[in-house]
Structures are given as structure tokens and as C-alpha cells.
Structure 1
């Protein structure tokens, strides 16, 4: 696929969670900086909110606020080729939580830090459904000699209810809904697999029996082979799942049934997230986290899915 790539900003501190705004700007998180950040089309960078910890996934809710998955923070290293990447739970880890940010004032509050009696460890990505609730993933945290198993959850914007969709789950990362809202997808980082649940109601899914490890059905398994890892995702208007791909560096495009797969290579082994925006939803904004950049890929062949609560 021939692409027109434009660099919008550089010098970002592990950017993730991009949201294309209707004024042409992109709101994203800088995980290592601990901020929600706005980037204008001319590349100007400004802080919207200083959240601390490790703000990770982000989405606009029905009230116009930005809802943040905060993973509590990482320790980082820089590889010999300059790739900046997380390696473990932060020494000053502040706990996982879901936060709500007022875009106009930068003020934020905490909605959840536990679900059904267990503390959140590393909330990662978030998507809103048409009912005004949201699904979110908790990747867990890795330490020197052990790691957590995470989960998939459902929450509401008033903070009074959060429920378990599936738990425990191995390294759940990106999360998205199909165009009709009837399928919930998530990406498993370590196995580079995409899984799906059939949605039966708001915060309700059908679960498969054994041998499914968590009740989901597998759509794709490590299509790129050795060393590949999956990160966050977006869905296009045809229902294809577009997954930011680590190590191979780029975007893996998987059809809803998993039978068709392709890969768009990008110059960063830590290509972590993407969103659609721009004219006709055919611009893909991508976070290249290892090099600290936000780029735009213009004239994407399939327009992106319009979110339930676009910016």
C-alpha cells in the first residue's frame, strides 16, 4: 500500500491513546510524562492535564470528557538503537485506575480503582458503546520475577458500577467494538492474538466453554510470526481490526473473521496505537512511542469507523 506519511510532532514521552478532535488537533497521552496532551495540526504541544502515574488509553465519553486508563507507571530503558520502551512496573507505581478529565479545565477525578473487590493493576485501553458505558482492558503489571494476569471490564461514567467481563486474562491490551456493536475485540500482547466476544447487552457477553481460556473466540494468532506483539487497535468502517504491532513495527489489518491479514510497516518497533480522523475519516493518526512521535497516514484505503462519541 502506497502511503503518504506526515510527521506531526516529535520529542513526546511515549505517546499513546490518540483521539482525533474535530478542530484538527489530536489529544493523546504521554505515558512516561504522566500527562494528557494536545497537539495542534502545526505540531504545537501543550499539556491538558498532569495526571501522574501512567495514563495509557483514552476515549471521549458521552459528556465530552476524556476517560483515561491509568496504568500506574512504568520503569523505562533506552535500547542501543535509541528505542525508548517500558520494562517493568514503576518503582513509584501509584496503582491502576480509571480517570475522567475535563478538557476545558484540565481537572480530573478518579472513577474506579477496584472492580468487584480486586484492585486494578494496569488499565490499558478503553472503548465506549452506544449505551454510554465503556469496556476497558487491564494488562496487569510485570516486575523483575513475576507478572499479573489482567482482565476485561465494563464501567459507567457515573462511577457507581463496574463489572467483570472476563478475569483472569493474559496481557489484554487494545479493545474495540465492531460497527454494529455486537462484537467486542481485544488484543493479547504476549501471544499476538486477537480475541472476540459476542455482545448480548450493555456490559454483557456470551462466553465460549473450554478450551477457551477466558470465554472468547480467537480471531487471529501471531500472523507475523516470531517476536511479534500486539498493542492497541481501531476498527475501520468495513469492520476490519487494525492492530498496532510491536517489534515488527506497524499496523496489522485483520478481517472480522480472521481469514484475511495484511501488514503496513512503519519505522518504529513500538508502534503502539492509532485512531481515524481527518476528511472522510481516512487519515490514520499513529503513535510511534519508541521514537516519541505522532504521525499521520493520509488517504487510508478504507475510512475509519465513526465512534459512538466522536470528538
Structure 2
């Protein structure tokens, strides 16, 4: 007789995952649990899920990723409103504060909020991604002018303008090997890719994908390098291969898909924020997120 090496509780959890249909959306939280600016879901190293604009703008919520219940984690000062969450290797929370033209830093134990970097040259920092060196890449759109910038923020808070020659920059993501930076333009409906060198500089701007309708918002890569892109207004997540080929499109319940993150114990659950429903939905996938 062979005996399982897994705890009974984990076996039940694995069995439940196995029975869930793939690429099928279901609700995690009730509707209207967030403001209409719900965005930026992300997990810390301990597996805790945080989402911006919980209950109302300016509140960072801590959400139970199993039952969808939420609690206030921190309220931002000075009427700041966050749009994206990332975590440094040391565990600090970084927030794109589009209203205050900042990237904010939250010390997790004390919940103290400070300005990590501020620049008068920022339009409104929108989305963030971060590499293993704790270099942050930030999209920075000017919605009125339909233009945008890309910034790199080095450890310690030094902002470096990488390019100002963009449309309305929004979703931003690094490939699993961190050698490619993807940036989308919401109004122009284009996704660009750049080569990233060892110092975090970008070059070789190349059109990766383009769509005739609906905008874009947040993007995330899985471990195989496939790019999951929110199609804002269509209510779908489109999955693109590293070659830019469309692999599938996943229909959500709401239409205003604003961002997503991979999570769960195996990294194969995708958590999506919906601005029209002011809630979160999830679906299961075959390949885990790039950090798993």
C-alpha cells in the first residue's frame, strides 16, 4: 500500500482545484465592495491579497483570497488615490499614486505611508511592475493629450525617464526572464515590447499586438511568458503567446476589467478587478503566474 505524503487538508484543496473548470469566471467578492477605481491587486510573500480603493478611494484593502471578505489595511494621507500595488524584495508595499503624482511606500509592520518618489514631471503614475533588483517600471499616461511616458525608479527612489514618446501608457509588465518589457496604450489599442538590458534601460521598441476595438488596462505574465491582458469595455482577458499570437480570450461577468494578478497556493488562480461591478472575479488556468 502506498501512503500520500500530503496533508489531508491539502489533498482536499488540490482535489477542489482539479474539479474547477478552467477559464471560467466566478465571483470572489460581492458587487459594490470597492469604489469604481478598483485596481491593482497583488499578493505579498505571505500570500495576503491587497487591492486599492476598498470601500472608497484612497483605502487599501486586505482581501481574503478564499472567501472574498475584506478589511481596511491602510488609509492613504493627503487625498492620495492609488492605482497599482507592488512589493519590494524586502516586503515594502509600493503604490502608484496618480492623484498626488507620487509612488508611495508603505512599511508593512507599522503601516506608515511615505513618499518613495515624487516628480513634477510625472503625469499620473498608473501601473507598476518590479524586477528582482527592485527596479520599478512605471507607466505614466496623460489622458487629456493621449500621450504617455515610461519611467524606471531605481532603489532608493531615483526616477529615470526611459521614454516620453508613447500613447496613453497603461498596463506594464516584465517577461519572466525580465529581458522584455511590455507596455500597452489604452486609447491607441497597441501593445509594445522593449528589450531590457542589465542596467534596466530599454531599447528596440517593437509592436507586439494591436486590436481594432476596446481599450487595455493591466497585464500580467504566466510562467511560460504568455501575456494576460485586460480588454477594458469588452469584459475579457486576452492571452497572447510570447510571439504575440492570441491563444484564447476569457469572458468575465463584468465589462470594465481593470487589472489582474496570479495567486492561490499553486499560482493558477487569476484574480481580476472589475470597475463596473466594483468587485473581484476569479478563474483557474493551466500555467501558474511567473512568480510561482
Normalising by the residue count of structure 2, what TM-score does the alignment of the two structures yield?
0.85
**In structure 2, what is the Cα distance between the partners aligned to 1:2 and 1:148?**
33
In the TM superposition, residue 36 of structure 1 has moved relative to its aligned partner by 1.5
Q: Which among 195, 198, 218 is matched to residue 195 of structure 2? A: 198
Aligned to 1:268: 254
Q: Which among 92, 95, 100 is matched to residue 105 of structure 2? A: 100
Q: Where do 5+ consecutive residues of structure 2 fail to align?
A: 1-21
Q: Is 1:165–1:203's contact at 8 Å kept on the other side of the alignment? A: no
Pick which of 229-238 and 249-258 moved more. Answer: 249-258
1:303 has 2:288 as partner? yes
Q: Is 2:25–2:253's contact at 8 Å kept on the other side of the alignment? A: no
Summarize the alignment of residues 162-201 of structure 1 with structure 2, pairs less than 5 Å apart.
162-201=159-198
Aligned to 2:206: 217
**In structure 2, what is the Cα distance between the partners aligned to 1:36 and 1:141?**
24
Aligned to 2:61: 37
| Structure 1 residue runs of 4 or more that deviate by more than 6 Å after TM superposition | none
Q: Which among 103, 119, 129 is matched to residue 121 of structure 2? A: 119
CA radius of gyration, larger in: 2
**In structure 2, what is the Cα distance between the partners aligned to 1:293 and 1:25?**
17
State the superposition RMSD in angstroms: 1.9
1:231 has 2:217 as partner? yes
Q: Where do 5+ consecutive residues of structure 1 fail to align?
A: 73-94, 208-215
Q: Is 2:231–2:238's contact at 8 Å kept on the other side of the alignment? A: yes
In the TM superposition, residue 197 of structure 1 has moved relative to its aligned partner by 0.4
**In structure 1, what is the Cα distance between the partners aligned to 2:210 and 2:41?**
26
In the TM superposition, residue 2 of structure 1 has moved relative to its aligned partner by 4.8
**In structure 1, what is the Cα distance between the partners aligned to 2:47 and 2:224?**
24
Aligned to 1:135: 137
**In structure 1, what is the Cα distance between the partners aligned to 2:58 and 2:166?**
26
Normalising by the residue count of structure 1, what TM-score does the alignment of the two structures yield?
0.80
